[in-house]
Amino acid sequence: MNPARNLILVGPMGAGKTCIGRRLAGHYGLRLVDADHEIERHTGTTIATIFECEGEAGFRARERSMLETLLRDDGLLLATGGGAVLDPDNRELLRMRGFVVHLRATPAQQLERLRHDRSRPLLARPDREAVLHEMAATRDPLYAEVADLAFDTDTLGAADAARRLQHELDRHWQRTGATA
């Protein structure tokens, strides 16, 4: 059991990190923070524009800096970007500063959930399914490396997933500093 003041959700795009996180944050009295949204708010532009101007390496440097800033706080439910685990320093920071939940979703489910989403730079290609499979092959072992708990969201809607995950968290996460 990893006692921690923060709850951190990792996983691929379309796994439900923000939607499920919103519900869990309310239940646990945590402040929901979406790392990608914070990067956009801080820079005043979209992730797609950052990718276009600075490339993925530029975005990853901004992501690393944002995670370092955000995880100085306690009482967060942090929804990370799908690629946050690519950086070894990020993985160490996530492990040190929170209870990490890997939300799992298959590429087929991701495709379904993201079918109308055109905002994701890494999916701005005609071979979206192949891209998702490639990312899963690279990232899934990294999600597993940092995770205190893995949870499948594939067949669940956000409300049902949050309810079931809450049950699992109540069994596995000892929140330090909790007032509840």
Amino acid letter for position 110: Q
- Top-tier CATH class for 7-172: alpha beta
Give me the half-sphere count of Cα atoms (radius 13 Å) on the Cβ side of residue 61: 6
H or E element that contains 167: helix 158-172
What tokens appear for 144 in the block? Answer: 């597993």
Burial code (b: 16+ CB inside 10 Å, e: under 16) for 140-149 equals: bebbeebbbb
Q: How far apart are CA 127 and CA 27, in angstroms?
A: 38
Annotated binding site for substrate: 36, 60, 82, 139
Q: How many Cβ atoms from other residues are within 10 Å of residue 160's Cβ?
A: 12
| Helices 35-43 + 47-70 axis angle, to 10 | 110
Annotated binding site for Mg(2+): 18
Residue in this structure with the two tokens 């701005």, named with its chain if needed: 124
Burial code (b: 16+ CB inside 10 Å, e: under 16) for 16-45 equals: bbbbbbbbbbeebebebbbbbebbbeeeee
- The structural domains of the chain, with segments of one domain joined by +, span 7-172
Backbone angles phi, psi at 136, to 5 degrees: -60, -40
Residue in this structure with the two tokens 């951190």, named with its chain if needed: 8
pTM of the full predicted structure?
Answer: 0.90
Annotated binding site: 14-19, 36, 60, 82, 120, 139
- Kindly give the confidence (pLDDT) of every residue in the chain, 180 residues in length, as a single tens digit, with 9 standing for 90 and above: 566 789 999 999 888 999 999 999 999 999 999 999 999 999 999 998 999 999 999 999 999 999 999 999 999 999 999 999 999 999 999 999 999 999 999 988 877 877 766 767 666 677 888 888 998 999 999 999 999 999 999 888 889 999 999 999 999 897 765 544
Amino acid letter for position 119: S
